[in-house]
Amino acid sequence: MMGTSSKLFARHLTATQADVERAETLLNRDGLIPVEDWSGHRGALELWRRHCQRAESSRASMLTAVRRLLELSSCSFERAFYGLRETRLLAWVRPADIWFTTGADFPYHFTVEGLAQLASNLITERGDPEGMARILGDDYGLSTVAAPHGLLHKIAHNGNHRTVAIKAAGFPVALVRTVRFNGPWQVPPWPWVTETARACLRLLLRAGLLTKPQGGRREIDVEANCWANLLFADTAGSTVKNVAAYEQLFGRCEAWPDWLRDRNLLTELLNRELLTMDRYKDDLTLFSEVVGQWPPPVAGKLKLLLQRLTRTGARLDRYSA
């Protein structure tokens, strides 16, 4: 992929106060500023430059900011981005809306100190066009979906380290190449074929968070209400973790039911749901038969006891459950 031209960040691209207000209006209304909106683009560029003039760039402050980011709860929204409709856009977005993924080996191209130095350099370069072109634009690829707070972006390729640096430096905007996904949404494939995972999907369908299951080209496709595609994960336990991590950063989503925040209550509902499932039915029937039928039927004590004795109950964090 070709990099973004430094001409997009040229020094002669000065902004009026109206341009800045246009950029802020678009961010507040839409969560992004298309680069084709020339006034908004100039305004976003000015927001970056103003931040460079005002921000603290000391190594100590950047090191503290990087470490704080790396201590955030780890989870993955990977399964949330399998929308069947997509729109591609070069646009300015809020770095605060970008979800980055770390692991035990992160950072792997930088040390923590190196990330802090990169964050400091972004500020001290004061909007150098060549420097901005190296770190922003076409080579900074994100995937985007709607979320309760606005937009949620994840790194599509080659961007975790720069995201940490940009967020640590506190920049209000960043220019990215994004693919915006919209529904219908593909139900996650394996390991969602497990019993507990199917039961979790059935709960979402019963509760009306997912609707209209239908056979797709590869998987089952569904419509998602209340941003329910963000609840897709590799295990039911991961869904609980994702809800907690999302709400820690962006605030409580009142549209999501409390049983997604309570592992014990979720386990109870999953156990009840498991007792209603015919494992020999095909996937589409398995899901379509329960749409809107909340709550799952109350199970008798004898059935629940047998479920515990045979260890066929819900296991939230096991792929084999």
In this structure, the answer to whether residues 25 and 58 fall within a common structural domain is yes
In this structure, the answer to whether residues 199 and 174 fall within a common structural domain is no
- The answer on pLDDT for 9 being more than 80 is yes
In this structure, the answer to whether residues 223 and 283 fall within a common structural domain is yes
How far is residue 241's CA from residue 23's CA, in Å, rounded to a whole number?
A: 34
In this structure, the answer to whether residues 102 and 175 fall within a common structural domain is yes
Which of 106-115, 175-184, 296-305 is predicted least confidently?
106-115
- The answer on pLDDT for 312 being more than 60 is yes
Mean pLDDT of 300-307: 87
In this structure, the answer to whether residues 178 and 36 fall within a common structural domain is yes
Asked which of 182, 207, 225 is the last residue of a domain, the reply is 182
- The reply to whether 31 falls in a domain is yes
Q: Provide the whole-model pTM.
A: 0.92
Specify the pLDDT at position 157. 75
Q: How many residues does the chain have?
A: 321
How far is residue 179's CA from residue 143's CA, in Å, rounded to a whole number?
A: 5
Asked which of 132, 165, 182 is the last residue of a domain, the reply is 182
Sequence-ordered list of residues with C-beta below 8 angstroms from that of 271, at least 6 positions apart, any chain: 299, 304, 307, 313, 314
In this structure, the answer to whether residues 136 and 223 fall within a common structural domain is no
Specify the pLDDT at position 311. 83
Specify the pLDDT at position 164. 94
Specify the pLDDT at position 3. 57
Indicate the number of domains in the chain: 2
Kindly report the CA angle at 319 between 314 and 321, in degrees rounded to 5? 30
Tell me the pLDDT band of 321, cut-offs 50, 70 and 90.
very low
- The reply to whether 314 falls in a domain is no
| Residue 260 exposed, middle or buried by CB count within 10 Å (0-12, 13-18, 19+) | buried
Mean pLDDT of 37-63: 96
Higher-pLDDT residue of 191 and 73 is: 73
Specify the pLDDT at position 165. 96
In this structure, the answer to whether residues 150 and 202 fall within a common structural domain is no
In this structure, the answer to whether residues 172 and 218 fall within a common structural domain is no
In this structure, the answer to whether residues 294 and 163 fall within a common structural domain is no
How far is residue 47's CA from residue 63's CA, in Å, rounded to a whole number?
A: 23
Residue-wise pLDDT tens digits, 86-116: 999 999 999 999 998 766 667 777 789 999 9
- The reply to whether 259 falls in a domain is yes
Tell me the pLDDT band of 314, cut-offs 50, 70 and 90.
confident
Counting DSSP H helices and E strands in the chain, the numbers are 11, 8
- The reply to whether 316 falls in a domain is no
- The answer on pLDDT for 52 being more than 50 is yes
In this structure, the answer to whether residues 144 and 229 fall within a common structural domain is no
- The reply to whether 1 falls in a domain is no
What is the residue-averaged pLDDT of the chain? 91
Q: What percent of the chain has pLDDT over 90?
A: 69
- The reply to whether 317 falls in a domain is no
- The reply to whether 321 falls in a domain is no
In this structure, the answer to whether residues 249 and 126 fall within a common structural domain is no
- The reply to whether 318 falls in a domain is no
Strands (E), 101-194: 137-147, 150-157, 174-186
Provide the domain limits for residue 222. Answer: 187-309
In this structure, the answer to whether residues 262 and 287 fall within a common structural domain is yes
- Read off the tokens for 270: 């999953």
Reference 3, options 125, 123, 140; nearest CA is: 140
- Parallel/antiparallel/unpaired status of strands 174-186 and 137-147: parallel
- Read off the tokens for 19: 């341009």
Residue-wise pLDDT tens digits, 199-222: 999 999 999 999 999 988 778 999
